[in-house]
Amino acid sequence: MSNKILHWGLLSTARINRSLIPPLRASKRNQLVAVGSRAQDSADKYAQEWKIPRAHGSYEALLANPEIDVIYNPLPNHLHAEWTIKAVEAGKHVLCEKPLALNVEEVDAIQSAARKHGRIVMEAFMYRHHPQTLKVQELVKNGSLGTLKLIRGSFSYVLSREGDVRLKPEMGGGSIWDVGCYPISYARMIVGENPLEVFGWQVAGPTGIDETFAGQMRFANDVLAQFDSSFVIPFHTFMEIVGSDGTLNIPRPFRPGTDEKIYLTQGEKTEIIKIPGQELYVGEVENMTDAILLGHEPRVSLDDSRANVAVIYSLLESARTGKSIKLT
């Protein structure tokens, strides 16, 4: 099966598709063959623009195409679980944009469907596959920082498009679901465990979503993490990992490019570590392919996704109630 070419279909004409199309076309093991939209006209127009062989006028028609092996699901957040499950039931593997779901019950339903039908489902945290992230993990694991003590992270930008789905609570909107999920995921990845307790604050926007969110996570062994996310703060992003023997600063942790640098400070000396170049979404596509064709474990497992959703959900509950939430 390792010689098989995987055929991909895009579930909608979402803007983020343009990030996935180039690595699919560059890969020797993958081929983009179809796109589905809610209307035939829009599917035809999109297929012509991006030179995609087949256009389907409904999501159902795309899933019914027997030629397709893998579906990319970039639909709005509240539709992720529903259409991921439908794709799995149609016999497709699924790469689903983050967040995979909006509660753990939805993740459990996805996991159940994936097991029943023997399909791979992976949440599209693209940064997890980039050489920069792998280098950060290596530095932490080899003891360059000593014992982990504190993790800080931020991801904010100004969202000014009126009517954007990210501003609609009924569609899973809010800064924490959109970008706060990144530093949460990053911190959990670095610690290698899930937090024991979380506490959050939010500033609600006109539609009721969290326009700005700030949260804390307490892990075992006295490791603490802090993060913030926002739709009203100018673009701001970083991760900082502090240990007993050093600090690691990552200026572009979530959307690293092809020429990045991270900074390891030990005592009064700061070492600049250059990261080998790689397009951001290449690793995601290839890791998904390895999971399907070679049986490798995806870097972002469904258990990992479930834990991230549980943390976000608990942080939102904390912000609503003003109380810390313990996770079991």
What is residue 275's three-state secondary structure?
A: strand
Q: How far apart are CA 218 and CA 5, in angstroms?
A: 44
Q: Which CATH class is domain 6-124?
A: alpha beta
Query: Looking at domain 128-281+309-326, which of 3.40.630.30, 3.30.390.10, 3.30.360.10, 3.40.1260.10 is its CATH number?
Result: 3.30.360.10
pLDDT value of position 69: 98
pLDDT value of position 277: 85
Write down the domain spans for the chain: 6-124, 128-281+309-326
30-36 and 54-56: which strand pairing? parallel
Judged against a pLDDT cut of 80, whether residue 3 lies above it is answered with no
What pTM was estimated for this model as a whole?
A: 0.96
What band does 42 get if pLDDT is binned at 50, 70 and 90?
very high
Asked if the domains at 6-124 and 128-281+309-326 fall in one CATH topology, the answer is no
What sign for the dihedral angle of Cα 176, 178, 181, 186?
negative
Q: What is the mean pLDDT of residues 208-231?
A: 98
| Two tokens, residue 83 | 């259409």
pLDDT value of position 1: 57
